[in-house]
Copies of this chain bind each other. A is one copy, B any other.
């Protein structure tokens, strides 16, 4: 089921943060810029996350054969389109997370 697979991607620790960051950086950025834009991410995870995003057609990887090498990642139209429903989730979290916290507190109080 496609929904299941999408949720898995969305749910992993870095995918959404990376696309959102790439968008914030103007839709195009180098590996090292992303590394700085996503605090706490390791090279290993940034690399693997970008690889998956590339494979899924959500970003494009462009290698410039220079020395030192330069690689730029650009968000695709498909990737951009995913940002809309994603933003809906972000907005929901901002609007309602406090309520969730309260529910947890009350629950845990018992």
Count residues of A near B (Cβ-Cβ below 8 Å).
40
Closest CB in chain B relative to A103 CB, distance in Å = 3
Does A96 contact B84, Cβ atoms closer than 8 Å?
Answer: no
Contacts A54-B107, A55-B103, A103-B57; A89 near B92 (Cβ below 8 A): no
Please measure, in the bound complex, the distance between the C-alpha atom of A58 and the C-alpha atom of B107, giving whole angstroms.
12
Contact with B along A85-96 (1 / 0, CB 8 A): 110111111101
Residue of B whose beta carbon sits closest to that of A82: B92
A82 CA / B107 CA spacing, docked (Å): 20
Give the oligomeric copy count.
Answer: 2
A6 at the interface (CB under 8 A from B): yes
Q: How far is the CA of A78 from the CA of B60 in the complex (A)?
A: 37
Cross-interface CB contact of A11 among B12, B96, B102, cutoff 8 Å: B12
A89 and B97 within 8 A (CB): no
